[in-house]
Structure 1
């Protein structure tokens, strides 16, 4: 089984990647130190995997409880956070309880934040079932919920005990969700690995068709890049900020349109194009490089333009509340060629107006 390690001293943990992992929970036992497991899932994923996972855990003498919430970004809220905490208190969960996130990015982010806060911290395990969560949100310990005034503004850095990625779960993923995950995949090539960007271009048709061998290679590379970056900068004081390419624009789109109306990956796709266009305006990438970025994003059926109804003023209003703002100054992640990016804080309102209007 391919294994990647997020190396954070006493908070280090493995990422396991394999097809069929959800059919064999033996892999979990070394990570579950107590006898009580609470599985957090949603109404879409639970019917697919919850029963089988529960039966196998119970067969190995684990006491299993479930908490099920509604599906979608609109439920990544403080209300859901309170609901899950209340359920844990009712069960009741103890310090040796392990909470398992079975689902996509919303479930993983919510579960991690709950785990960080319940009894001041209990163990949790990530079992991501969407492409976006497998390549990005399940790794690195960023946990949060959304607020109407900003995405992921309330949360904590809290690392899981392990991440288990079953590539077979992507066969049940709706095409729109799969495409949204590809935005985060493409991001890694733009900011960190030009060879990976080239590989994505060369294999894009097979990836779109979800060929198993390509998916395993692709997901492994993304997780390795994420692990490398998190190993260097766990709490985003430096290089980890590069992982937010496209997110400053993307979060503005999500906040303005309403969480869930644009999927996160769709907003990031459009946001990466805007970041690349801004970089081209500033002379940091060539027209050919911009076209290559737009072409790959477009190939995976992602939007390359923001909502027609959003003005520069609307974007800027939301971006001023972005969590990357420091001392009142907006910061942007911009590509400088393919395979490298920088954080800049000298983007003027005039530049943004030219770009966005």
Structure 2
């Protein structure tokens, strides 16, 4: 018998005896590749679904990692999902080789791990541990949401939570508070949120906040931000909710014309993101914006609203400015013209069903003229009105 054929048949026999994966619901636990610390089998596909109580998140930490290497992890790999693995929009990362993945924190109470090996080259594999995290963790997505324990219910006394937001090396982090209701006192010594421009409290101090006034938008100088929330032994409030965005999920566009697209386009966008594109031109300019491609999750069939994934455009530089439109599904937005020199485009996605996303083009100028039947009226970037 041909050796390669014999090896593949033998591998199939072994595979039929290998059990791996499953549903894990304990508050803490461990997973590892089959046979660890021995060599893992060929041709194996394992799937773990970790489910912890509602209101908690999953913190995953790798203790050992040694898989076959490939530049795009096409052979043996681990995939980590922020939720169920059937939705690629939940993918947090794909890993192989011998570089240990970072810690991961899910944004809700479910996390999935997939381990796959091909029929060539086996290594020792991996071991990892997980635990239920009521608050805090390490957030590595392009965008995400953090909130006080139990939000919007009253947070608990004696809470001590720390979130490290760690994005790609070429990015900075922007943090925006949507709601902020903490016990108030001079000096913020009782209940407070403290922010640091890096992963530890030894990094540059960005501020300490309490009471009912929302903190200003925070922009780091590095690719990491530490958020600390502490409460004392009495008097709770509703707490806070904030979102962050980074990398290709935040852009400030100042050229007279340009284009941009949803993260990962033409592949599907991630779930659980809130991305901002700010078009800021010189005073005296106006902006024309159009969307050649729009492919998002459809409207809610019950409410007929864009309740799931949507693109919104605001006539200014913040979400408090006038809303020009709100779209989802494959709706084709009309060409939009700003009243001033700024537009804000916001992509919001939920935790289910991702699509390709969108592409957008814009052009700035100070006078509307008719020059092209294809695009209709748009601005001449060089012609100025008097």
TM over 0.5: no
Q: Which has the higher helix share?
A: 1
Q: Which has the higher strand share?
A: 2
Q: Which has the higher contact order (CA 8 A, sep 6+)?
A: 1
Q: Which of the pair has more CA radius of gyration?
A: 2
